[in-house]
């Protein structure tokens, strides 16, 4: 039976989950995979927490794990992009295969780390970095490796999906739903990375690079979050036959790869619309296989730890195999498509004075910029501002931006900045 020695760096939520799974499933792994996975070293910045899960000596020197000769695979679960980078880089330099759940690290500094892994003939596994328990990395890399991707999009952040679900189901305002998410442990005390779309941006950056075999840098992404949404947007969208989701979207265009994160009106009959609460989903379309979707728990100790353990088993199984192929995650940089030329339909919410001629003024600006109105909805209210909701026909995003800027400057009738949300089309 093959023995694999593991060094764990970080015993937070996912790290503690991994310790539980290693203890619980060790005998199952032996029977199924003929592997004896042995945890031989632990380092964490909070040693006292680790002692609740293991009797092994625990070090606070996280770099020390990466140089130990009795460690075959280093598991990095501390997060962030500074110390984590030092840990992963050191481990790869010293000939260790590394498993990580760190999407920010790989999205922002992956080029250097993947190059270091390739240079030293070792692996860098990151199944747990995107969508928790969903095996999307292996699906893109292996299951769909023969396919040409057209579109990849997904609900990639459980916190925002939970908030949007509660805003709809409970008719809560954004702030109330966020507080509930924090109380349940779905959202951090500082939720910025989640609610402003940064976390989803890191994830779609990684997924896009794998799907299109071209590097999609996080810095090239347009990222919008959900913090400006109000319950009226959630409920109005539902009445129009849509549900708002925060999506990471990447698609191949004639001008290059267009990748972005933003709230999106998803038709209620689309499979993504029915992914609720903290669940994640990844939807794809390829030339050869058409459309498909995978879904599951996108976060949490045990779901994410199960993906870490799956990587451990996969890469451990390759140890000692003659002519085993090292995975190459180094891709040429993609050509960034110009967003202003992209065609889209929009949901627009204008907050206006309650007086005659307002809609005519708005329609005049839209028409001047080649934007045609598909439908209009206005709810009767007792006080200003009045909310006028417009669904448009397709037009370029550049024309939408010009129109919204001009309308928002009409201070004689517009009381708040326009809320603009794209519709999901042709997916």
> What domains are defined for the chain?
2-132+301-318 (3.40.50.720), 136-297 (3.30.360.10), 340-423 (3.30.70.260)
Q: DSSP for 274-322, please give it.
A: G--TTEEEEEEEETTTEEEEEEEE-SSHHHHHHHHHHHHHHHHHHTT-T
User: Percentage of the chain with pLDDT > 90?
Assistant: 74
**234 token code pair:** 């959630």
**280 token code pair:** 């994640």
Question: 427 falls in which pLDDT band (50, 70, 90)?
Answer: low
- Please report which helix (H) or strand (E) contains residue 351, including its range: strand 346-352
Task: Tell me the H-state helices in 184-218.
Answer: 192-195, 198-212
pLDDT of the residue at 119: 94
pLDDT of the residue at 356: 87
- The 10s digit of each residue's pLDDT in 99-112 is 999 999 999 999 99
Q: Please compute the mean of the pLDDT values over residues 45-61 and round it to a whole number.
A: 84
**252 token code pair:** 């191949």
Mean pLDDT, the chain, whole residue set: 92
Nearest alpha carbon to residue 113 among 74, 152, 144, 60: 74
**Backbone angles phi and psi of 302, in degrees to 5:** -75, -40
- Are 78 and 101 contacting, i.e. CB atoms less than 8 angstroms apart? no
- The 10s digit of each residue's pLDDT in 235-255 is 999 999 999 999 999 998 888
Please, what is the end-to-end C-alpha distance for the chain in angstroms? Answer: 47
Q: Which residue has the tokens 């089309």?
A: 425
Neighbour tally for 86: CB within 10 Å: 13
Question: 330 falls in which pLDDT band (50, 70, 90)?
Answer: confident
Q: Please compute the mean of the pLDDT values over residues 45-51 and round it to a whole number.
A: 81
Residues 96, 103, 166, 203: which is the catalytic one?
203
pLDDT of the residue at 38: 92
Examine the residue annotation and report whether 415 is marked as an active-site residue of this protein. Answer: no
Q: Find out whether the peptide bond into 385 is cis, omega within 30 degrees of 0.
A: yes
Q: What is the CA radius of gyration of the chain?
A: 24
- The 10s digit of each residue's pLDDT in 278-292 is 899 999 999 999 999
pTM over 0.85: yes
Q: Is the pLDDT of residue 426 over 70?
A: no
């Amino acid at each position: 039976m093959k023995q694999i020695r593991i060094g764990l760096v970080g015993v937070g939520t996912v790290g503690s989950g991994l310790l539980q799974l290693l203890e619980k499933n060790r005998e199952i792994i032996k029977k199924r995979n003929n592997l004896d996975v042995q945890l031989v070293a632990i380092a964490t910045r909070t040693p006292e927490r680790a002692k609740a899960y293991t009797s092994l000596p625990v070090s606070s020197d996280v770099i020390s794990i990466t140089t130990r000769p009795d460690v075959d695979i280093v598991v990095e679960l501390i997060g962030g992009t500074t110390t984590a980078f030092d840990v992963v880089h050191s481990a790869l330099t010293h000939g260790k295969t590394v498993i990580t759940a760190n999407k920010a690290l790989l999205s922002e500094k992956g080029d250097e780390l993947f190059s270091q892994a390739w240079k030293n003939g070792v692996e860098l596994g990151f199944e747990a970095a995107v969508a928790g328990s969903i095996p999307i990395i292996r699906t893109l890399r292996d299951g769909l490796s023969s396919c040409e991707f057209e579109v990849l999009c997904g609900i990639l952040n459980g916190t925002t999906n939970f908030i949007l679900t509660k805003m709809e189901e409970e008719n809560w305002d954004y702030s109330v739903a966020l507080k509930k998410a924090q109380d349940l442990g779905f959202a951090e005390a500082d939720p910025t990375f989640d609610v402003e779309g940064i976390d989803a941006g890191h994830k779609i950056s990684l997924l896009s690079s794998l799907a299109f075999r071209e590097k999609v840098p996080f810095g090239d992404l347009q990222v919008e979050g959900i913090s400006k949404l109000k319950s009226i947007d959630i409920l109005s969208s539902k009445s129009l036959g849509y549900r708002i989701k925060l999506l990471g979207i990447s698609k191949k265009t004639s001008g290059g790869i267009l990748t972005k994160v933003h709230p999106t009106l998803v038709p209620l009959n689309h499979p993504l619309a029915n992914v609720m609460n903290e669940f994640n989903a990844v939807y794809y379309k390829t030339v050869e296989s058409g459309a498909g979707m995978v879904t599951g728990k996108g976060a949490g100790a045990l779901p994410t730890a199960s993906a870490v353990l799956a990587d451990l088993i996969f890469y451990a199984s390759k140890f000692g195999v003659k002519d085993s192929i090292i995975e190459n995650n180094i891709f040429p940089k993609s050509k960034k498509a110009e967003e202003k030329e992209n065609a889209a339909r929009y949901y627009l919410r204008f907050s206006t004075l309650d007086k005659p001629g307002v809609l005519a003024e708005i329609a005049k600006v839209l028409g001047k910029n080649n934007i045609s109105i598909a439908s209009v909805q206005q709810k009767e209210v007792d006080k200003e501002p009045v909310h006028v909701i417009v669904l448009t026909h397709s037009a370029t995003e550049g024309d939408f931006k010009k129109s919204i800027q001009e309308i928002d400057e009409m201070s004689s009738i517009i009381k708040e900045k326009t809320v603009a949300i794209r519709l999901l089309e042709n997916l």
